[in-house]
Amino acid sequence: MHKTNTPIDVRYQETDQMGVVYHANYLVWFEIGRTKYIESLGFTYTDMEKNNIVSPVTDAQVSFKKPVRYGEKAVVETWIEKYDGIRTVYGYHILKEDGDIAVSGTTTHVIVHKETFRPLPLRKAYPEWHQAYLRHVNGES
């Protein structure tokens, strides 16, 4: 399974009064990891957006296991959990410096036309992405 690892330096402004990363920031980190994952396959969201296509989140699941604190380093591990030609479910682990999983989760995405928000099948709109996603979901590289 193809995975990417994206390093994150925990910044002060990302923490709450308890000195740990505020929970909503993990979704931002998921997005950073997802963008790097897509780039590792040779694609960019920018290319989609040039065609007025965007990829909204339709579902997000997050499980908090251990706190991450200001000054620590973390890594966002990202992969494709599931893909059916229309919906893509990305999986994530936020790893602490010692390799322990601090946060795990998934986000589900579709692609839509920016003005109508009508879903489009990725397999038809972007066949290269579709083929790459199928290869990685099936464990091929």
107 pLDDT higher than 70: yes
Flag whether the pTM goes above 0.75. yes
Which pLDDT does position 138 carry in this prediction? 81
What order of strands is seen across the sheet that includes strand 119-120? 53-54, 111-113, 119-120
Give pLDDT tens digits for 52-86: 999 999 999 999 999 999 999 999 999 999 999 99
Query: How far, CA to CA in Å, does 10 sit from each of 6, 34, 72, 74, 97?
Result: 13, 18, 6, 7, 11
Q: Mean pLDDT of all residues in the chain?
A: 94
Give pLDDT tens digits for 31-61: 999 999 999 999 999 999 999 999 999 999 9
**Contact of 130 with 123, CB cutoff 8 Å:** yes
Q: What residues have CB less than 8 Å from 24, skipping those under 6 apart?
A: none
The residue type of 56 is: P
- Candidates 109, 107, 110; CA nearest to 61 is 107
Catalytic: which of 9, 16, 47, 84? 16
List of long-range contacts for 121-124, beta carbons under 8 Å, 24+ apart = 121/85, 121/86, 122/85, 122/86, 122/88, 123/85, 123/86
Residue 16 annotated in active site: yes
